[in-house]
Amino acid sequence: MRNRVFIVSLCFLLLLPVNEISAGIENALDESTGYEGSIFQGNDENSGQSSSNEAWNSLSEATGLNEDRSSRDKDPNSQDDSVRVGCSDYVLTGERLREIRSEFMYWFFDKGGDDDEGDYLKEIQASTPQTNKNFNFQLPFFGFRFNQTRVSINGYLEFTDPPERYTYPLVFPVKCWPKENDPSFIGIFFSKCRIGEIWSTDRDRRKPGVYFRIERDLRTRKDQLGVEMRERLKWDVREGMSGAEGFVPKHAITVTWKNVSFTGGIDNSLYTTNTFQMVLATDEANTYAMFNYPRVEWTSHTEAGGDTVHGDGGISAFVGFNAGNGTGSYEYKPFSQTPHIRDLTRAGWVNGFPGRHMFKIDEKIIAATCS
């Protein structure tokens, strides 16, 4: 764990009894010793846990040292590249920022919180393929604004009701709207999925399924995860999308589908799995979507013509966005519903990563263009 420097003003030292000062600092140090080991455990959306450096923040506010000395927009490549929100708060160094930005996947956790499930959506099972989630903020998407969503095992976030059934290939907007519902959704891998299995040799032992995490109010967060999420996402978006040079995320949503297989396969097909991750960043005016694809082993479920062993053939998954109510759609070509969908893990190259793709999605959908 990094060393933390605690500064108490001289005037405060003169005003308080020595035993009160010592007790306050010792309490803060005791809590901070387990900070890095515990900060990434649990979901801001679910757990409601306070920051583990709360005691030291209170002490700093009492001394008047918690004033804003923000340098949030400092270039991470500059000589003095530390990001400090307040003198008692977590300091993100340039070295640490480069370290976390070198990681392909964003954070998600299977431990922590009141039920020790972390970000894992245990309510998503074969009998309940989706669950509702509230944002408590406005997410601009495709000309509309939403404050809640349905998270589906089937590789998408849905904002409005779908039609009774789908036929393949999928076509959006739904042609028969308004007689049939035309759903608003963000589809990272829109296909019929089921929770798969992991091999005994897999390094990532987190259980298969869907993970959902919200990080709110990032601009005013002072804890380690809040500061690191804001700065990591800010620079990834700024460097990944043209025209995003001044973007600072206010809220973020991370949804990870880990080791999901296809429906209709034989039992052994549960070990043929895909893993993909959607990261949404918004300042409630602009919204960006990041799609990360570390693993694509199957392309189609059996209803769409895929075989029962490997999930190959037929109509591949839909990748793209639909505004809903017959207003517009964006299909991510040449990958969506074609054999080229396997190339998602090798294409993109946003932030220098093969398998990372990025879009601006608040009004017209704009894809990042990277060589």
| pLDDT single digits (tens) 285-301 | 999 999 999 999 999 99
DSSP 233-300: HHHHHHHHSTT-TT---SEEEEEEEEEEEETT--GGGGGS-EEEEEEEEE-SS-EEEEEEEEE-----
pLDDT at 360 exceeding the cut of 60: yes
Virtual CA dihedral for 329, 216, 67, 78, nearest 10 degrees?
Answer: -50
Q: How far apart are CA 159 and CA 8, in angstroms?
A: 49
Lowest pLDDT segment from 23-37, 126-140, 198-212, 344-358: 23-37
Label residue 2 by pLDDT band (50, 70, 90).
Answer: very low
Q: Lowest mean pLDDT of 51-65, 210-224, 308-322, 347-361, name the range.
A: 51-65
Give the residue with greater pLDDT, 258 vs 28.
258
Q: What is the mean pLDDT of residues 167-171?
A: 97
pLDDT value at residue 13: 35
Residue owning tokens 């897999």? 202
Length of the chain: 371
Give the C-alpha distances (Å, rounded to integers) separating 370 from 314, 348, 355, 359: 30, 7, 12, 12
Statement: residue 164 has pLDDT above 70 = yes
Confidence of residue 281 (pLDDT cuts 50, 70, 90): very high
| pLDDT above 70 (res 94) | yes
How far apart CA 243 and CA 91 sit, in angstroms, is 28
Task: Give me the mean pLDDT over the 151-178 stretch.
Answer: 97
The count of C-alpha atoms lying within 13 angstroms of the C-alpha of 133, restricted to the half-sphere facing its C-beta, is 26
pLDDT for residue 81 is more than 80? no
Q: What confidence score (pLDDT) does residue 197 get?
A: 98
Query: Tens digits of per-residue pLDDT, 5-47?
Result: 333 333 333 334 434 433 343 333 333 333 333 344 445 454 4
Please state the rounded mean pLDDT for residues 70-77: 48
Q: How confident is the model at residue 89 (pLDDT cuts 50, 70, 90)?
A: confident
Mean pLDDT of 340-365: 98
Concatenated DSSP letters of 111-151: S-TTTT-TTB-TT-SSS--EEEEEEEEEEEETTEEEEEEEE
Query: What number of CA atoms fall less than 13 Å from residue 116's CA on the CB side?
Result: 0
Residue 182: both structure tokens together: 């035309």
Task: Kindly report the average pLDDT of the chain as a whole number.
Answer: 84
**What is d(CA 229, CA 314) in angstroms, rounded to the nearest whole number?**
39
Tens-digit pLDDT profile for residues 96-141: 999 999 999 999 999 999 999 999 999 999 899 999 999 999 999 9
For residue 79, pLDDT beyond 90 = no
Mean pLDDT to the nearest integer, 149-165 = 97
For residue 173, give the amino acid letter.
P
Domain boundaries, the chain: 94-367
Measure CA of the first residue to CA of the last residue in the chain; give whole Å. Answer: 38
**Pair 184, 325: CB distance under 8 Å:** yes
Could you tell me the pTM of the whole model?
Answer: 0.80
Q: What angle do CA 129, 121, 114 make, to 5 degrees?
A: 150
Q: How confident is the model at residue 64 (pLDDT cuts 50, 70, 90)?
A: very low
Of 85 and 118, the one with more pLDDT: 118
Name the 3-class secondary structure at 342. helix
**Residue 240: is its pLDDT beyond 60?**
yes
pLDDT of 58 strictly over 90 = no
Fill in the amino acid letter for 248. Answer: V
Name the 3-class secondary structure at 70.
coil
Give the confidence band of 85 by pLDDT, cuts at 50, 70, 90: low
